[in-house]
Amino acid sequence: MAYDATNIFARILRGEIPCNKVYEDEHVLAFHDIAQAAPVHVLVIPKGEYVSMDDFTANASPEEITALFSAAGKIARDLGVAETGYRIISNAGEDGHQEVPHFHVHVLGGRPLGPMIKRA
């Protein structure tokens, strides 16, 4: 799937629309999800143009990949959920119910999150 530079996270990265920033470095931006599904719900995104986890891991540099996952772990520690437990989710494609086609991981926590996935 080709990258669509009009997606909402690309617009956030360009500063065209605001976000509630949690963390930023050379390769990564993290911000609170606009529709919080848990007391802690942060989106961690690469600054590069990647659609999904499989695109990112195939095409990003080792520095970008390290930065993304290091940031997610730091955010879990800094927001206190490393103590209580948390979940990392990355939705991809149609079956994964991905809404925004710019790779991101959700960091969720702050309450018991229930079973991992609804059984069909």
Of the residues 33, 74, 88, 113, which one makes contact with ligand 5GP according to CB under 6 A: 33
Question: Which CB sits closer to ligand 5GP, 65 or 88?
Answer: 88
**Cα separation of 81 and 73, whole Å?**
10
Of the residues 22, 29, 30, 31, which one makes contact with ligand 5GP according to CB under 6 A: 31
The alpha helices in the chain, defined as continuous H runs, are 8-13, 53-59, 62-78, 81-84
Of the residues 13, 19, 29, 107, which one makes contact with ligand 5GP according to CB under 6 A: 19
Active site residue 104: yes
**Cα separation of 39 and 32, whole Å?**
10
Using CB under 6 A as the binding rule, whether residue 34 contacts ligand 5GP is answered as yes
Using CB under 6 A as the binding rule, whether residue 55 contacts ligand 5GP is answered as no
**Cα separation of 19 and 48, whole Å?**
17
CB 47 within 8 A of CB 29: yes
Which positions touch ligand 5GP (CB under 6 A)?
A: 8, 19, 31, 33-35, 43, 91, 97-100
* Catalytically active residues, by annotation: 104
